[in-house]
Amino acid sequence: MRTAYGVETVRAAERELMARLPEGALMQRAAAGLAAACADLLGRVYGSRVVLLVGSGDNGGDALYAGARLARRGAGVSAVLLAPERAHAGGLAALRRAGGRAVGAEAAGELIERADLVLDGIVGIGGKGGLRPEAEPLAGAVARARAAVVAVDLPSGVDADTGEVRGTAIRADLTVTFGTHKPGLLIDPAREYAGSVRLVGIGLELPAEPELEALQHADVARLLPVPAAESDKYRRGVVGIAAGSARYPGAAVLAVAGALRGGAGAVRYVGPAGQAVIARFPETLVSDRGPEHAGRVQAWVVGPGAGDDAATVAEVLAADVPVLIDADGLRLAEPSAVRARRAPTLMTPHAGEAAALLGVERNEVENGRLSAVRELAARYGAAVLLKGSTTLVADAGGGPVRVNPTGTSWLATAGSGDVLSGLAGSLLAAGLSAVDAGSAAAYLHGLAGRFAADGAPVGAHDVAERIAAAWRDVVRG
Ligand SMILES: NC(=O)C1=CN([C@@H]2O[C@H](COP(=O)(O)OP(=O)(O)OC[C@H]3O[C@@H](n4cnc5c(N)ncnc54)[C@H](O)[C@@H]3O)[C@@H](O)[C@H]2O)[C@@H](O)CC1
Ligand SMILES: [K+]
């Protein structure tokens, strides 16, 4: 499991550790890890041209000490000081002793243009808002440069706690972060600015409960159901799919496609698209009666392509088994009926649907994904999976939010969400909790999307067909 902790927690752990260590020791640990990552990226340090962008805090101090290490190995290092009188004094002295030089911001453009490597030490966890006006031109110069860009702790200008980017921020190829991942490094839009992320341990002792967690292969493998020898289809769970309409039969077919790959013993379909479903998947149990009379299920999926069928949504919500609500179902579900449920509920909106549920603009959700998913989970008393390139899953009762690390932008394709809801519903029927079902499904679905895409556009159907391959990849490790 990869975990991320917010700024306040990191600060407290740093204080506690600093009290036990000689002064400056933590910064030296950070700088050593940073310099090593830079050296790996450069390949040959001797003779390389390195530019440090140095702000007024300790983030700039890290950059200066790392620059000093690189200078001692023969790099030509120039530090651009954004606030010369407030630059980290010890770091600046170390850089000068090692043969590096410091310049003002006016010289930055030309240096950046000719650099092999730029270190962004403008601002780290002490940053507020996007980059200040005096730092903005630097971000432009960095974006135009051919140099590799390494962000120190965080790309400057992104919000460490939320992943928000309000205004200009530095775009890095690599972020070297200290002590722990910060939530912003794992959540879009900030995640995109971070490039790949390397964690340098500095010995922080962190609390048991993180802000954010990202499942890895081994975690998902532990969650996935394995049929026992005596299993029959009912013991493995039957998932009911109440989806599709005369207008949107495809949503039903795709939700069933996902459900068939999710480990439930059987898939039961109710709705007007039975013909289309059975033609494509003859193994489906198709019923032409409403959910209440369709026969036993261990979990329901309701909503994909449902059009305006509010009665079916209400009937499913009244069932005393886990329910996944997606797409049209989110709009049709009575909030009070969702809150009144006793069995687990999982809602799976994309940003637009989440915005409608919260009564805000879509870009507010896209920029503040973490707070949006938490807010929805609290309002509805339900687990919420907020879809996107970094899908988030929040539990009804709070606690760490899960972020899915396998997403790919190729998954933003029509019907891909229907496949996901079927898959997650199947895992609910197999007995996983709402958060586990949602996060394991997002993981498999993302991986299946990557396998199917392999660098090219894909349709939702291709994704469903690669779920089995993703499952195998996960359980084989
Ligand atoms: N505390 C420690 O022991 C350690 C801290 N480390 C480094 O220290 C950093 C935190 O240092 P600080 O607390 O000094 O804070 P930062 O260096 O992150 O930033 C604070 C400074 O940036 C300015 N600033 C704030 N918002 C800005 C913006 N939007 N645009 C431009 N300037 C802005 C502030 O005026 C302040 O002077 C971490 O990110 C990490 O890089 C590491 O050395 C590891 C050890
Ligand atoms: K930075």
Distance 142 CA to ligand 1 centre (A): 20
Which of 22-26, 286-290, 455-459 is most confident?
A: 22-26
- 337 three-class SS: helix
pLDDT tens digit sequence for 202-214 = 999 999 999 999 9
Total Cβ atoms within 10 A of residue 343? 14
Please tell me the residue having the least CA distance from ligand 1 atom 26: 127
Please tell me the residue having the least CA distance from ligand 1 atom 24: 127
Return the CA Rg of the chain: 25
- 322 three-class SS: coil
Which residues make up the CATH 3.40.50.10260 domain(s) of the chain? 2-214
- 207 three-class SS: coil
pLDDT at 459 over 80: yes
Q: How confident is the model at residue 102 (pLDDT cuts 50, 70, 90)?
A: very high
Predicted confidence at residue 25, as pLDDT, reads 96
Q: How confident is the model at residue 302 (pLDDT cuts 50, 70, 90)?
A: very high
Q: Which residue has the higher pLDDT, 233 or 218?
A: 218
pLDDT at 234 over 80: no
In the chain, % of residues over pLDDT 90: 93
Q: What 8-state DSSP symbol labels residue 237?
A: -
Whose CA is closest to 2, among 218, 175, 169?
218
User: What whole-number distance in Å separates Cα of residue 135 and Cα of residue 318?
Assistant: 56
361-382 burial: b if 16+ Cβ within 10 Å, else e: eeeebbbbbbebbbbbbeebeb
Distance 123 CA to ligand 2 centre (A): 5
CATH of 2-214, one of 3.60.150.10, 3.40.50.10260, 3.20.20.70, 2.30.42.10: 3.40.50.10260
The pick from 119, 125, 205 for probing ligand 1's pocket by mutation, whose C-beta has the most ligand atoms within 8 angstroms, reads 125
Q: What is the mean pLDDT of the chain?
A: 96
Predicted confidence at residue 129, as pLDDT, reads 83
Please tell me the residue having the least CA distance from ligand 1 atom 39: 124
Neighbours of ion ligand 2 (CB under 5 A): 120, 124, 151-152, 156
* C-alpha 78 chain-centroid distance: 35
Would you call the peptide bond into 189 cis, given omega within 30 degrees of 0 as the criterion? yes
User: What whole-number distance in Å separates Cα of residue 417 and Cα of residue 407?
Assistant: 12
Total Cβ atoms within 10 A of residue 199? 15
Predicted confidence at residue 467, as pLDDT, reads 98
Count Cα atoms within 13 angstroms, Cβ side, for 407. 25
First to last CA, the chain: 14
Beta strands in 108-173 (DSSP E): 117-121, 148-152
Predicted confidence at residue 288, as pLDDT, reads 83
Total Cβ atoms within 10 A of residue 114? 13
Ligand 1 pocket (Cβ < 6 Å) reads 14, 18, 26-27, 30, 55-60, 62, 122-129, 131-132, 135, 152-153, 178, 202
Whether residue 235 contacts residue 28, with contact meaning beta carbons closer than 8 Å, is answered with no
Distance 36 CA to ligand 1 centre (A): 21
Which of 219-233, 283-297, 336-350 is most confident?
A: 336-350
Residues of each annotated binding site for (6S)-NADPHX:
58-62, 124-130, 153, 251, 305, 350, 418
pLDDT at 233 over 80: no
97-100 long-range contacts (CB < 8 A, ≥24 apart) are 97/68, 98/67, 98/68, 98/69, 98/71, 98/72, 99/71, 99/72, 100/52, 100/67, 100/68, 100/71
Please give the angle made by the CA atoms of 306, 308 and 311, to the nearest 5 degrees: 90
In the chain, % of residues over pLDDT 70: 100
Tokens 């499913």 map to which residue? 316
pLDDT tens digit sequence for 151-200 = 999 999 999 999 999 999 999 999 999 999 999 999 999 999 999 999 99
The pick from 14, 59, 161 for probing ligand 1's pocket by mutation, whose C-beta has the most ligand atoms within 8 angstroms, reads 59
Which residues make up the CATH 3.40.1190.20 domain(s) of the chain? 217-476
| CATH architecture assigned to 217-476 | 3-Layer(aba) Sandwich (3.40)
pLDDT tens digit sequence for 129-161 = 889 999 999 999 999 999 999 999 999 999 999
User: What whole-number distance in Å separates Cα of residue 252 and Cα of residue 306?
Assistant: 9
58-80 burial: b if 16+ Cβ within 10 Å, else e: bbbbbbbbbbbbbbbbebbbbbb
User: What whole-number distance in Å separates Cα of residue 142 and Cα of residue 152?
Assistant: 14
Structure pTM? Answer: 0.95
Whose CA is closest to 422, among 251, 282, 204?
251
User: What whole-number distance in Å separates Cα of residue 95 and Cα of residue 470?
Assistant: 49
Whether residue 211 contacts residue 270, with contact meaning beta carbons closer than 8 Å, is answered with no
Whether residue 86 contacts residue 126, with contact meaning beta carbons closer than 8 Å, is answered with no
User: What whole-number distance in Å separates Cα of residue 90 and Cα of residue 65?
Assistant: 8
User: What whole-number distance in Å separates Cα of residue 65 and Cα of residue 31?
Assistant: 6
pLDDT tens digit sequence for 38-54 = 999 999 999 999 999 99
Q: Burial-class residue 472 by CB neighbours within 10 Å (0-12, 13-18, 19+).
A: exposed
Instruction: Give the contacts of 262 (CB within 8 A, at least 6 positions apart).
Output: 239, 422, 423, 424, 425, 426, 427, 429, 430, 441, 467
Q: Which two three-digit tokens encode residue 166?
A: 């309000």
pLDDT tens digit sequence for 304-361 = 999 999 999 999 999 999 999 999 999 999 999 999 999 999 999 999 999 999 999 9
pLDDT tens digit sequence for 417-449 = 999 999 999 999 999 999 999 999 999 999 999
Whether residue 419 contacts residue 241, with contact meaning beta carbons closer than 8 Å, is answered with no
Whether residue 196 contacts residue 176, with contact meaning beta carbons closer than 8 Å, is answered with no
